[in-house]
Chains A and B, each alone.
Chain A
Amino acid sequence: MLLRTAWRRVATAAPAAPGPRAKPPIRGLRLRGIDLTPQSAVASDAAIALEAESVLRPLYMDVQATTPLDPRVLDAMLPYLVNYYGNPHSRTHAYGWESEAAMECARQQVASLIGADPREIIFTSGATESNNIAIKELEAAIQPDTSLVSVMTVNNEIGVKQPIKEIGQICSSRKVYFHTDAAQAVGKIPLDVNDMKIDLMSISGHKIYGPKGVGAIYIRRRPRVRVEALQSGGGQERGMRSGTVPTPLVVGLGAACEVAQQEMEYDHKRISKLAERLIRKIMKSLPDVVMNGDPEHHYPGCINLSFAYVEGESLLMALKDVALSSGSACTSASLEPSYVLRAIGTDEDLAHSSIRFGIGRFTTEEEVDYTVEKCIHHVKRLREMSPLWEMVQDGIDLKSIKWTQH
């Protein structure tokens, strides 16, 4: 109920560009944008904007790349974008004080999601910056040998969950720092930095339905983990990351974490059901489909499937109504297939045939069904066009053929 009213408020709050109204959605494709007329701050451009038409946009099934802003997060951020615009480090007036209060509240929200103390959370511009700070600590480390172990909590390509608790145990017994990039895991699976003996953790805002351009790094205080600052300046964030903290963005990150904490169990159940539906329907209708990644230790919202004898990029082109991603070489700028798939020992031809389906908080059953239907239809069509499929149907073993290299 709250979600729908918040969304409606957002929709009506959009600047009133007098363009053509959005058409009612066609069955199977929900209109996600409001109106694609380019918004311009200059009033005279409004006339040009009139000519742009609203267009149906693809379904969004790429939540590992980024997530839409949760309307509740936007609600929390708006006052700090419009009214409460003070610098949180200003000590001498109410604008600074109210900004600072919001920043500390957000810090508490992030900390409580991972079982940390708020003093252990430093805001950054994103998980990449957090990773850099954590790894740079390697140079400041005391131990001669291995001084830092860095592991991803949930892999962004195949959704595999790493055994963080066990790794934390080993690191703590060997007195080695343990860093984890939890960008895909925070707010989706339960994390506790003390239970899992994590010393450093990277958090990304835009992977958990928060704003882009913000993240955080968790740095353990007991026992103290020393890090070296990447950027120096006015000494903000305990000297570990100078620069004015962007209040609206961190308020958004805090709100996203709080919402995630509330919704984690429900989201996980719903996403698991949708994922199981997607996999079951595809596997039932198509032979020779392989799921990449350990099926047991797996986050359900990230499904990576290889469709044998069909090349990934051609399938992506076929599924142009759905925003997806592929581990295929053609879609990366280099011609190399995904290093993750190669590392888990996937055959190279299957690595070229993989597609990643992302299911998130706002994915509907209808969207999943539509995606599955299109996927099955196009895989069958592409297999008809594939010489490999033809050879397999004729009973030829593809591994016995000496292919020409070029």
Chain B
Amino acid sequence: MAAAGAGRLRRAASALLLRAPRLPARELSAPARLYHKKVVDHYENPRNVGSLDKTSKNVGTGLVGAPACGDVMKLQIQVDEKGKIVDARFKTFGCGSAIASSSLATEWVKGKTVEEALTIKNTDIAKELCLPPVKLHCSTSLLIPTPK
């Protein structure tokens, strides 16, 4: 059961990654440090940083990215019997935009069912945080892991 759950988890994670539309990264002339205040807010007061018990049956863990790319995101969700996400936690190795994207994602998935959460697109996150085009790949690493 656990093995099947883990497999489903990984498949769900990759499904979400492939589904998310990839927009080409363009070179920006504006300096990278002119952050929108929403990004700064999520960075300075991140919501839901931490870990859930990964051995629990109700918790799904997804890990995406690579240190060599400068982007690694871990997202955990706790799901109740009806399939609704009751809690979410994240940890990110990445730039300010990546941290803000993960923080916002954990806020948005709380209270949704897994199916609803899977409809969140990286472009929605990018639009909410007013990310410049070159930062779109930071929000692409969104993933919704599913337990069991």
Chain A positions within 8 Å of B, measured between CB atoms, are 309-311, 313-314, 316-318, 328-331, 333-335, 337, 347-349, 352, 384-388, 390, 398, 403-406
Contacts and interface: CB of A to CB of B under 8 A. Distances in A.
Nearest to A334: B27
Interface in B31-63: 32-33, 35, 40, 43, 46, 49, 51, 63
Interface stretch (B1-9, B94-102, B113-121): B94-102
B25 A404 contact: no
B70 A387 contact: no
A387 B69 contact: no
Given A390-B51, A403-B72, 10 more contacts: A311-B94, A328-B70, A352-B68, A386-B72, A387-B91, A387-B93, A388-B93, A390-B91, A406-B64, A406-B71
Given A313-B95, A314-B43, A330-B95, A403 B32 contact: no
Contacts of B27: 333-334
B63 A317 contact: no
A388 to B, nearest CB: 5
B14 interface: yes
A284 B30 CA distance: 37
B103 to A, nearest CB: 9
Interface stretch (B79-87, B104-112, B134-142): B134-142
Contacts of A387: 63, 72-74, 91-93
Interface size, B (range): 35 or more
B12 to A, nearest CB: 13
A334 B28 CA distance: 8
A388 B67 contact: yes
A57 B66 CA distance: 36
**Main SS of chain B's interface residues?**
mixed
A398 B67 contact: yes
Contact of B93 (A310, A316, A347, A404): A310
A313 B67 contact: no
A404 B64 contact: yes
Nearest to A335: B25
Contacts of B43: 314, 317-318
A388 B72 contact: yes
B70 A329 contact: yes
B130 interface: no
Interface string B3-30: 0000000000010010000000101110
A333 B134 contact: yes
Contacts of A330: 32, 70, 95, 97
A404 B66 contact: yes
B17 A406 contact: yes
B68 to A, nearest CB: 4
A398 B72 CA distance: 12
B31 to A, nearest CB: 9
- The residue in A311, A333, A387 that gathers the most chain B C-beta atoms within 10 A of its C-beta is A387
A75 B96 CA distance: 42
Given A317-B40, A335-B25, A406 B32 contact: no
A335 B51 contact: no
Nearest to B102: A385
